[in-house]
Amino acid sequence: MYKIAVVGATGLVGQKMLEVLERKEVPFDELVLYSSQRSAGKEVSYKGKNYIVKALTEEEANQKFDFVLMSAGGKTSEQFSPIFENAGSIVIDNSSAFRMHQDIDLVVPEVNQPKLKRKIIANPNCSTIQSVVPLKPLQDKYGIKRVAYTTYQAVSGSGVAGINDLKNGEQGIEPVNYPHPIYNNALPHIDVFLENGYTKEEQKMIDETKKILELEDIRVTATCVRIPVQDSHSVAINVTLDKTATVEEIKVLFENNPHVKLVDNIEKNEYPMAITATGTDNVYVGRIRQDDSLDNTFHIWCTADNLLKGAALNAVQILEQIHLNKLN
């Protein structure tokens, strides 16, 4: 039985982590919930038992947990994940703090395995996670040359602040979390701008895709857009393959893959949508068609719940992967 900590237990993703832990029935006999000083003392119920959320301190982090599920932002992770790690805990970190460190695993269980050179494992960015799941079978069968992403990201990716900006925007209230109103708008601006004119979110998708697929030589680009949807991200994936493929073959590949759900029947207006992905664990793909502007290139529309598969579910699946493969 495991001793588990959840850091950021009162946040949107932290709450989803508890929800997933509960329904996945992860075997544990001790659960400790941590938050910032601001949220400490709050009560959180789990499996019918009330837990008082504790303030995370360096002293608290300096104890061995079997697993620490961390979703409290990059700064908190930078400060506390190494302390947990040094005490012998395996940390599964939802922040971007350690994702691109060479010795840190960046894991989507349907795609790759942790090597555990370090006891900190990074959970990838939500829009990256859902995208590499369908890319993996395409890479295995045809090889991938190039990927161009355009994302349509829900406001819950920005936490409660994003949701509030969407809801308040309908009343004409100025946004707090975004540079412009998100209500009735689309913002080609997620996270900060970098010197190359890309946003940090776009650079994350580019860098993380290459690391997870272990394909440093493929060409990847991205445009990440915030849209006025509360939950579930959608990604238009444009992928160029090495080997010749047809739309029909790709559909059969996805139909036979246990990790994606093909929803693709334009005669019946059936395709993946945010409203049908929200609350489910699945990665949906559809609108598969040939892109005649480039050789051997295809469009794929991909949708998933950004708080579940895009964050909390993937983190718990990494815990299960380690538990089941006895890597700990």
> Catalytic residue numbers?
126, 233
CB atoms within 10 A of CB 147: 26
Nearest approach in angstroms of CB 234 to ligand 2RA is 12
* Coil, strand or helix at 171: coil
Residue 197 Rama label (left phi>0; alpha psi -120 to 50; beta) = left
Residues forming contacts to ligand 2RA in the complex (CB under 6 A) are 125-127, 153, 157-158, 190, 201
Find the residue with minimal CB distance to ligand 2RA: 157
Strand 297-304 to strand 43-46: parallel, antiparallel, or no bridges (unpaired)?
unpaired
Angle between helices 313-324 and 12-24 (to 10 degrees): 40
d(CA 68, CA 32): 9
Nearest approach in angstroms of CB 41 to ligand 2RA is 26
Is the Cβ–Cβ distance between 302 and 272 less than 8 Å?
yes
Our CB check for ligand 2RA shows the closer of 201 and 305 to be 201
Nearest approach in angstroms of CB 1 to ligand 2RA is 31
Is the Cβ–Cβ distance between 310 and 127 less than 8 Å?
yes
Nearest approach in angstroms of CB 27 to ligand 2RA is 29
Is the Cβ–Cβ distance between 155 and 133 less than 8 Å?
no
For the chain, how big is the Rg over CA atoms in Å? 20
Class of residue 244 by CB neighbours under 10 A (exposed 0-12, middle 13-18, buried 19+): exposed
Tokens coding 66? 């079997």
Our CB check for ligand 2RA shows the closer of 4 and 129 to be 129
* Coil, strand or helix at 280: coil
Nearest approach in angstroms of CB 156 to ligand 2RA is 8
Our CB check for ligand 2RA shows the closer of 14 and 157 to be 157
Annotated binding site: 10-13, 38-39, 99, 153, 156-157, 226, 306
CA neighbor of 303 nearest in space, from 273, 259, 265, 262? 273
Our CB check for ligand 2RA shows the closer of 154 and 239 to be 154
Our CB check for ligand 2RA shows the closer of 74 and 143 to be 74
d(CA 47, CA 168): 33
